[in-house]
Structure 1
Amino acid sequence: MNIIHMRYALVVAETKSINKASERLYVGAPALSRGIKELEADLGVLLFVRSAKGMFLTPDGELFVKYAEKALKQIDDIENIFKEGSTMKERFSISVPRASYVATAFARFSKRISQNKEIELFYNETNDYRVVNNILKDEYRLGILRYSNQYASYYNDMMKEKGIIGELITEFKYVLVISEDSPLSKKEVIKYDDLKGLTEIAHADPYVPSLSFSEVKKDELPEREGNRIFVYERGSQFELLSSNPNTYMWVSPIPKELLERYNLTERVCIDNNRVYEDILIYKKEYKLTHLDNMFIEELVKAKREVFR
């Protein structure tokens, strides 16, 4: 079986298009199409259904992709180990929600890394769909999943079906983070109505292109009247909140040093009673490394400091 043709098939499966796969792989569409046909002939099965709308996996194709991804990853690992002059690097990787206590734990963890070893750390802030997908594709070894606890049974069933272990980190309610100069900071009690006329800062990718997640996410972030500023990372949200006293954001509790650095404060909204859970996830067959355990130690410390 041709390894190059296997790689072709994975990209076609992802893009659902010979032309799009051709652009990504820098391979001519006719050569790519021939490679897929030769692979199907070698296997004796049809991997794709061809139509005017694109290339779609058959049941045999879905099974092939599942095993081909693992096989090619192992081949890549072997090549990396035995490349001339290369040394085996330790690796830590995690996908997380945009949570400041998690980022604080990661920063502290990074300080503990030995300077005498070659170690690569990967830290990806994203939404829950990609957190799960990164784990399933072996792109990241650990993940932190965040959801409202009313959907706990849904997520538990999903993790069980996909062979994912989930361990509770913490439960919490979202709080408002605002500038010390915000008009809200002077109120003793804050309700939803007090947010009218102010601009909400929100992360730009809460919605995900998955039917299995869409209804859950729409309920998580209901539509509201008023202005919104969408951001993709936490640094810009703090700058906006600090410089514009007419903004606010719903967040999990933030470490004290960050609030002080940006002249921010946290306030409870009495109308918001929904409880959320942060769950550490990884594949069932995955064995935690000493780097994983070192990070988890820092995560537990940061959680205890913030969620009192």
Structure 2
Amino acid sequence: MNLTYLKYALEVEKTGSITKAAQHLFMGQPNLSKAIKELEESIGITLFERTSKGVLVTQEGKTFLSQAHHIIEQIDRMEAQYRPVTKPKLYFNISVPRASYITYAFTRFVNSLEEGEGLEINFKETNSIEAVRNILECHYQLGIMRYPLEYEKYFMHLIEDKAFEMQKIWEFEDVLLMSKEHPLARKESIVREDLIPYIELIHGDLMVPNVSEELKKKKEKDFVKKHILVYERGSQFDLLRQVPTTYMHVSPVPENLLEHYQLVQRRCEDLVQKNKDVLIYSKHHRLTTIEERFIKELIKVQQEMKHIYKYI
């Protein structure tokens, strides 16, 4: 059996598409199709059913490819065991929401790495749908999805449909983030009417099919008249600090960042949205030591903040 063909088949399974798999493998689609056909003929079963939307793994194919995963992993471990001793290079790829507590955990995680370790990290702040796409199509191993709790059913269906493992990170109520110079910064109790004169900052790419339209309609019924769309946290913090009439709904922010940017976080008594952050990864992926270290640091930061912000 050709081990290269096994790896080809696993890539097709991962992407759900001959075309995408060929792109990831840097080979022509006809050559990949031919290799898959030869593999199927050699083992005597059909691995994939071709459809107009891509390929589907057959029942027999699921069993075979599950065993193939274990074979490739065993070979990788064997090669690593007998490879000349060198300092291993650490790979870590994750997509996350634009959340300060996650970035704070990430910086602590990076600082914990040993000096001299080979390192290649992709840490991408993006939306939940892109986090899913990065795992399916862009060789990212991990993602963190954020969603409003009221739409949990939609996201649980998405996770099940993509055959992901899931781990809850944090269920929280959002807070208002604003400058210490904001007119509402010293107000003891904030309600939605208090926010009417001010500018809301919103991450502009948080669009989710079927859900976004409902959120948009809900927002139109609300009071917000002024808003600015931002796409990265650098602009977010610059605007909050330098335009004291802006505010933003965010997950709770670590104290050191509040102090650094001269910001405060407040609770809006009658405008609270419950959200959940969940870790996702393919069911075929085994968490590496470095990934487990990051998750442990993330949970640690979350617990520290949960203790500090007792109203959350």
> Structure 1 length as normaliser, TM-score?
0.69
Distance 1:30-1:159 versus aligned 2 partners, 3 A rule? closer
8 Å CA contact retained: 1:40, 1:47: yes
Which of 292, 297, 304 is matched with 1:301 structurally? 304
Q: How does 1:183-202 map to 2 (within 5 A)?
A: 183-185=183-185, 189-196=189-196, 198-202=198-202
Q: Does the Cα contact within 8 Å between 1:254 and 1:306 map onto a contact in 2?
A: no
Structure 1 unpaired stretches of 5+: none
Query: What SS class does the counterpart of residue 86 from structure 2 fall into?
Result: coil
Q: How far apart in 2 are the matches of 1:223 and 1:95?
A: 28
The CA deviation at 1:41 is: 1.1
Partner of 2:87: 87
Match for residue 293 of structure 2 among 287, 291, 304: 291
Deviation at 1:94, TM superposition (A): 6.2
C-alpha distance in structure 2 between counterparts of 1:160 and 1:18, whole Å: 22
Task: Tell me the residue number matched to 1:3.
Answer: 3
Deviation at 1:131, TM superposition (A): 6.3
Aligned counterpart, 1:50: 50
Aligned to 1:172: 172
Report the alpha carbon displacement of residue 38 of structure 1 after superposing the two structures with TM: 0.8
CA 170–28 in structure 1, closer or farther in 2 if over 3 Å, else same? closer
The whole-number CA distance in structure 2 between the counterparts of 1:196 and 1:278 is 29
SS of structure 2 residue aligned to 1:239:
helix
**Secondary structure at the counterpart of residue 55 of structure 2:** strand
Summarize the alignment of residues 58-137 of structure 1 with structure 2, pairs less than 5 Å apart.
Answer: 58-60=57-59, 61-69=61-69, 71-88=71-88, 96-115=96-115, 123=123, 125-128=125-128
The alignment partner of 1:87 has SS state of coil
Deviations 1:193-225 (A, max 9, x none): 44446543333453456xxxx55x766776534
The AA in structure 2 aligned to 1:260 is: E
Cα RMSD of the aligned pairs, angstroms, is: 4.6
> CA 1:119 to 1:81, structure 2 compared with 1: closer, same or farther past 3 Å?
farther
Q: CA deviation at 1:174?
A: 0.8
Alignment map for 1:20-35 (pairs within 5 Å): 20-35=20-35
- Superposition pairs of residues 148-227 of structure 1, within 5 angstroms: 148-149=148-149, 164=165, 166=167, 171-185=171-185, 189-196=189-196, 198-208=198-208, 215=211, 224-225=219-220, 226=225
Read off the aligned partner of 1:300 and give its amino acid letter: Q
Q: For the structure 1 residues 303 and 101, does the alpha-carbon distance in structure 2 shift closer, same or farther, using more than 3 Å as the test?
A: farther
**How far does residue 39 in structure 1 lie from its aligned partner after superposition?**
1.7
The residue that corresponds to 1:247 in the other structure is 246
Question: Judging changes above 3 Å, is the alpha-carbon distance between structure 1 residues 81 and 40 closer, same or farther for their aligned structure 2 residues?
Answer: same
Q: Give CA-to-partner distance per residue, 1:232-253, whole Å, 9 cap, x none.
A: 4433321232233343211112
Aligned length: 300
Conservation of the 8 A alpha-carbon contact between 1:81 and 1:87: no
Counterpart contact for 1:101–1:306, Cα < 8 Å: no
Q: Deviations over 1:68-123 (max 9, x none)?
A: 45544554454455444533466777664432223223323433444376677665
Q: Distance in 2 between matches of 1:192 and 1:173?
A: 15
Q: Distance in 1 between matches of 2:270 and 2:38?
A: 61
CA spacing shift, 1:307–1:100, aligned 2, 3 Å: farther
TM-score, structure 2 normalization:
0.68
What's the secondary structure of 1:46's corresponding residue? coil
Taking the aligned partners of 2:55 and 2:42, their CA distance within structure 1 comes to: 19
Residue 291 of structure 1 aligns to which amino acid in structure 2? R
Name stretches of at least 5 consecutive residues in structure 2 with no aligned partner: none
8 Å CA contact 1:109, 1:298 repeated in 2: no
Taking a change above 3 Å as real, the CA distance of residues 18 and 279 of structure 1, as seen in their structure-2 partners, is closer
Task: Tell me the distance in 1 between the aligned counterparts of 2:198 and 2:23.
Answer: 45
